[in-house]
Every structure is written in structure tokens, then in C-alpha cells.
């Protein structure tokens, strides 16, 4: 039995595995590791008291964990909170802002909506963008000073991509995101959900087709020296099959970079994420690993702020940060997008110098 909705992506995965991969130079590889959190304090109808408890757990628990570890640049682990526009609460964002201004996190936009219109979407994004800016939590374009944001779509339904067309409603969503200042989308992968694209393990540009949904199903891979094109940059996380973890002892499980209570991060999963080879074409020695979680869910928070995450950081720092074969870099979503654009522009040298390449972190 194949994984659910495997026909949407598995054939492309198998073809890509047969393709010959470019050789990685003897100088080793740089690994950019980003945790994108669908951070939903009000999830499952939580009371305000529970919401505050969920936010407080991260504000108190993440700093002592992060400060124990350092990457190749001397930076601690980073966490990107994709906060839902429909759950705006100023106190929650002020609290999360403490992590941001301590240099441990950044905040971007998450959105759940249904049966929406382009005008309605535009209004929601513009309003929430200004809210986040008011808290000092968004980045700006280095050249023109415009507010910019990264995006994750609720229910993975980017560009009305569900088969039943629920949880969105906007066929020209990519164009609206571009218009409102979205610098990159981090929604994917979504397998085994039916919103998963044919394109996988890729960093690419997608062009909106307002006449049809799921315009980002295919796109133009970002290449060194290539042109910026289309309406939206999409930075995908890893998607593949884990043959070490099998259903009924036979079938491989889908590895989609999700971190949750029953599937915590491990060094073996980290190897699979690296092996997915998400990169800018022409720069295979820069590997982009974007994983995701729902960090407000109690069982997930217990993993991400507890002993399992401590072991994970200890192991990847020990095995993938030796300075020769591997160099590990903890990055936010914004920094990851900056590194993508630097690679596209043909920049070389220490990648740490490109964390603020085009998008500059907000300051208060």
C-alpha cells in the first residue's frame, strides 16, 4: 500500500533519486538548519489562560536550551515563529518579542482562512503586517525599506490547493502575497496531505495563474546566476521515505520534516534531511534544511524544549559541525532566504556574511 496521496509526488521522488547528483567538493558542505513553527496559542479552542501558558513555556524554556549550543558561527539555535494572523493578541507577541530581541528567534506570518477573496486576503495580510511591525517584529528590504514577511499557509492550502478547495478560496494567492511583501513561502512539504506539490526538495519560483488553483505545483528552480522570476519564492523542506522506520515492518514511512511528540528529531532523521539535497542549483555544497512543528501543542513542546531536543543538538553539533566535512549554521527563515538569494547571485565565501544579504532584521 502506497502512502496517502503518493501519486502527487512519489513518481517525481523516484525519478529524482535516479538522477546523478553533483559532486560535493572536498571542502565540505554548509548546512543551514531552520525550524519553522506553526505557532498557534489558541489551537483547539484554548482559553486565554492556556494560551498564555503556552507562550510562556517557550519564553522561559527556549533560552536555557539554546544557550547551551553554538553553530559554526558561534550562533545559538534559532526558532522562527509563524504566528497566525487570525489569533492576534498583543501580549503574546510582546512576550515572543523577548526571544526575538534576545537574538534567538524571529516572527513571520501564518494564516488560516476559508472561502476568502483576493481583497479579503490582501486586507488580512496588510493589517497583520502592520501589527507585527508595530511590535518591531518584521524585516525590511535593504534597498527600499519596505516591510517584508515570510509566509506559511494554514492547513497547507496555499493557492487554494486542496482538492475540495476549502481552507483558502483564492486562486491568485501567490500574486497577492507578492503584492503585500512576501519574500518567501515556507509551507511545503505537506505530504501526505493532498496539497503536496509535484515539485519537491526544491527551492524555486512559481508564477501565479489566476484561472487555476495550485499554481506552485511546478516552477523554475533557483540557480546560481539565474534570474528572479514569477511571483513567489518557495523554500521547501525535505520530503522522502524513511526505510529505517517502517509501517508494519514493511513499508517505509514518509519523512516530511515534521517535529512532533511521537516523531522527535534524531540524528538519523537529520541525515535524511541533508540527503534530500535541497539547494540552489549550482551550489550543492550549501544544503538547506527547513523542518516544521506546531510548537504550542503540549506534547510537541515537551519534545522541543526537553531532553529529546538537547540530545538532538548535542548529536548534530558533534557529527555535523566538525569544520571540515560539515559546517552547521542555525538560521531563521529570513536568514535562509537571504542565503538563497546570495547563492543565486553567485556570492562565495563564508556564508555567515550573507545572513542579512537583502532582508534586514527589524530593530526596536
Question: How confident is residue 14, by pLDDT bands cut at 50, 70 and 90?
Answer: confident
> 178-228, pLDDT tens digit by residue?
999 999 999 999 999 999 999 999 999 999 999 999 999 999 999 999 999
Domain ranges for the chain: 27-360
pLDDT at 252 over 90: no
Read off the pLDDT of residues 92-142 as tens digits, 9 standing for 90 and up.
999 999 999 999 999 999 999 999 999 999 999 999 999 999 999 999 999
- CB-based contacts of 153, cutoff 8 Å, min separation 6: 110, 111, 168, 173, 185, 187
The residue count of the chain comes to 364
DSSP letter, residue 89: -
> Could you report the per-residue pLDDT of 53-71, keeping only the tens digit for each?
999 999 999 999 999 999 9
Per-residue three-class SS string for 163-174: CCCCCCCCCCHH
Task: Give the separation between CA 133 and CA 122, rounded to whole angstroms.
Answer: 16
More confident residue, 93 or 13: 93
Torsion of CA 269, 291, 188, 96, to 10 degrees: 160
Q: Which of 274, 279, 278 is nearest to 325 (CA)?
A: 274
pTM more than 0.75: yes
For 58, counting Cβ atoms within 10 Å of its Cβ (0-12 exposed, 13-18 middle, 19+ buried), the class is: buried
Encode pLDDT of 303-339 as tens digits: 999 999 999 999 999 999 999 999 999 999 999 999 9
* CATH tag for 27-360 (out of 1.20.1260, 3.20.20, 2.40.160, 3.40.5): 3.20.20
Amino acid at each position: 500500500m502506497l502512502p496517502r496521496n503518493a501519486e502527487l509526488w512519489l513518481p517525481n521522488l523516484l525519478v529524482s533519486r535516479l538522477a546523478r547528483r553533483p559532486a560535493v567538493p572536498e571542502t565540505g558542505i554548509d548546512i543551514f538548519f531552520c525550524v519553522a513553527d506553526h505557532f498557534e496559542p489558541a489551537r483547539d479552542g484554548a482559553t486565554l489562560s492556556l494560551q498564555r501558558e503556552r507562550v510562556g513555556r517557550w519564553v522561559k524554556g527556549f533560552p536555557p536550551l539554546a544557550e547551551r549550543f553554538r553553530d559554526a558561527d558561534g550562533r545559538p539555535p534559532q526558532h522562527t515563529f509563524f504566528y497566525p494572523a487570525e489569533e492576534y493578541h498583543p501580549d503574546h507577541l510582546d512576550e515572543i518579542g523577548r526571544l526575538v530581541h534576545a537574538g534567538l528567534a524571529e516572527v513571520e506570518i501564518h494564516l488560516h482562512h476559508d472561502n476568502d477573496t483576493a481583497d479579503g486576503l490582501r486586507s488580512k495580510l496588510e493589517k497583520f503586517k502592520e501589527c507585527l511591525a508595530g511590535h518591531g517584529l518584521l524585516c525590511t528590504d535593504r534597498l527600499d525599506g519596505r516591510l517584508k514577511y515570510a509566509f506559511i499557509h494554514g492547513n497547507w492550502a496555499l493557492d487554494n490547493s486542496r482538492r475540495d478547495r476549502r481552507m483558502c478560496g483564492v486562486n491568485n494567492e501567490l500574486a497577492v502575497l507578492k503584492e503585500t511583501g512576501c519574500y518567501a513561502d515556507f509551507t511545503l512539504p505537506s505530504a501526505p496531505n493532498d496539497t503536496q506539490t509535484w515539485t519537491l526538495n526544491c527551492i524555486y519560483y512559481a508564477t501565479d495563474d489566476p484561472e487555476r488553483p495550485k499554481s506552485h505545483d511546478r516552477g523554475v528552480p533557483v540557480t546560481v546566476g539565474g534570474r528572479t522570476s514569477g511571483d513567489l519564492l518557495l523554500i521547501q523542506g525535505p520530503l522522502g521515505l524513511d526505510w529505517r522506520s517502517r509501517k508494519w515492518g514493511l513499508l517505509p514511512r514518509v519523512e516530511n520534516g515534521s517535529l512532533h511528540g511521537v516523531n522527535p528529531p534524531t540524528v538519523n532523521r537529520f541525515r535524511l534531511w541533508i540527503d534530500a539535497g535541497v539547494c540552489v542549483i549550482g551550489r550543492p555544497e550549501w544544503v538547506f534544511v527547513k523542518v516544521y512543528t506546531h510548537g504550542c501543542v503540549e506534547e510537541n513542546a515537551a519534545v522541543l524544549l526537553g531532553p529529546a531536543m538537547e540530545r538532538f543538538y548535542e548529536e548534530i553539533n558533534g557529527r555535523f559541525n566538525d569544520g571540515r566535512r560539515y559546517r552547521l549554521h542555525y538560521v531563521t527563515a529570513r536568514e535562509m532566504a537571504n542565503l538563497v538569494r546570495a547563492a543565486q547571485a553567485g556570492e562565495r565565501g563564508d556564508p555567515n556574511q550573507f545572513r542579512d544579504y537583502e532582508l534586514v532584521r527589524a530593530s526596536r
